[in-house]
Amino acid sequence: MIFYFTGTGNSLAAAKKLLVKGEQLIDMAQARREGTYRFSVPEGERVGFVYPEYCGSVGATVRDFAEHLQLEHAGYVYAVVTCGGKRSISAGYFKRLLKKRGIPLHNAFFVRMPDNCVILLAPPSDAEKAALLDSVNGQILKIRQAIVHRESAPVPTRISDGMMQKCYLLMNRTKRFWVRDNCIHCGMCEKNCPSQAIRMEDGKPVWVKPQCDLCTACINRCPVQAIEYGTKTTDRARYVNPILK
């Protein structure tokens, strides 16, 4: 069984590449919406969590899901973190969340993919994007080998784990979103929002929650680039993993 969370498709693409025949793929955002937190796998089965790194920590949905999860019979538990940087540091915090639910984390890996954080930096150029996406198969192949052999490795926690989550919680506010006049009223932003933070009102999106996952799906997946965040996104390109195109 693999649980995943995605905003712009990287983690979904990674999860799909890790999936073996017959294995279930579960969207943590959908499970959370439905209030489904209880899962059981056949005795000793592998269970994976694939999610994006946010500010060196985990996003709101992943955190909430891990805090409520009831998981029975898992024999080997691993995390695969997708990130835009050269390393990932959030797995230790995730391990702490799972531990509180009595779930061990036997290993954690990361996959470097194009950075989708257009609210902070410009996405990689087309050439960089292509090179990174090309490297994903190789990165996943190595991880898959380790998972198949149920390799364990210490997942280090850090003193800064709690602080990184606090930084994320300072950032993930919705008050800076705004909509350009070129909005075509398609409602895709409402549909794609994993936090249910967007509602269409009079044909335009309105952010109805003070905080969200800050997954950037609304910004990056709007078909006409009508969604902006403060002033920094206005002249930036957008990024969506090909799996969602």
Residues in the site for ligand SF4, rule: CB under 6 A? 7, 174, 179, 183-189, 192-195, 197-198, 205, 212-218, 222-224, 226-227
The smaller minimum CB distance to ligand FMN, of residues 85 and 223, is found at: 85
Tokens 């069984």 belong to residue: 1
**CA pair distance 67, 82, nearest whole angstrom:** 20
**CA pair distance 17, 157, nearest whole angstrom:** 27
Per DSSP bridges, beta strands 204-207 and 198-201 are antiparallel
Where on the chain is the footprint of ligand FMN (CB under 6 A)? 6-11, 52-56, 82-85, 113, 115-117, 214-216, 241
Question: Which partner in ligand FMN, ligand SF4, none is near 187 (CB below 5 to 8 A by kind)?
Answer: ligand SF4
Geometric angle at alpha carbon 33, from 45 and 211, rounded to 5°: 115
CB 177 within 8 A of CB 218: yes
The smaller minimum CB distance to ligand FMN, of residues 38 and 166, is found at: 166
Question: Which partner in ligand SF4, ligand FMN, none is near 189 (CB below 5 to 8 A by kind)?
Answer: ligand SF4
The smaller minimum CB distance to ligand SF4, of residues 164 and 222, is found at: 222
Q: How far is the CB of 60 from ligand SF4 (least distance, A)?
A: 8
The smaller minimum CB distance to ligand FMN, of residues 79 and 113, is found at: 113
Question: Which partner in ligand FMN, ligand SF4, none is near 6 (CB below 5 to 8 A by kind)?
Answer: ligand FMN
Q: How far is the CB of 72 from ligand FMN (least distance, A)?
A: 27
CB 41 within 8 A of CB 69: no
Q: How distant, in Å, are the alpha carbons of 9, 117, 123, 164, 245 from that of 127? A: 19, 18, 11, 31, 18
Q: How far is the CB of 73 from ligand FMN (least distance, A)?
A: 27
3-state secondary structure of 18: helix
Q: How far is the CB of 203 from ligand FMN (least distance, A)?
A: 27
CB 39 within 8 A of CB 1: yes
Instruction: Tell me the residue type at 4.
Output: Y
